[in-house]
Amino acid sequence: MNGPHDLGGQMGFGPVAPEIDEPVFHGDWERHALAITLASGTLGAWNIDESRHARESLHPAIYYSASYYEIWIRALETLLERHGFVSADELEAGHKIWVGVKPKRVLHADDVAGVLARGGPCNREIAVEPKFKAGDTVRTINEHPEGHTRLPRYARGKLGTIEAVREAFVFPDTNAHGKGENPQHVYTVSFEGRELWGQGTDPALTVSIDAWESYLELA
Looking at residue 68, what is its pLDDT? 95
CATH number of 123-218: 2.30.30.50
Residue 68's closest CA among 40, 39, 27? 27
d(CA 40, CA 111): 14
| pLDDT tens-place string over residues 49-96 | 999 999 999 999 999 999 999 999 999 999 999 999 999 999 999 999
Q: Which helix (H) or strand (E) holds 180?
A: none
Within the chain, which residue ranges are assigned CATH 2.30.30.50?
A: 123-218
The β-bridge relationship of strands 184-192 and 206-212 is: antiparallel
Instruction: State which CATH number among 1.10.10.10, 1.10.472.20, 1.20.120.140, 1.10.3430.10 fits the domain covering 28-118.
Output: 1.10.472.20
Q: Please, which pLDDT band fits residue 19 given cuts at 50, 70 and 90? A: very high
Within the chain, which residue ranges are assigned CATH 1.10.472.20?
A: 28-118
SS3 content of the chain, % helix, strand, coil (to 5): 35, 15, 50
Looking at residue 186, what is its pLDDT? 98
> pTM of this prediction?
0.92
CB–CB of 218/135 below 8 Å? no
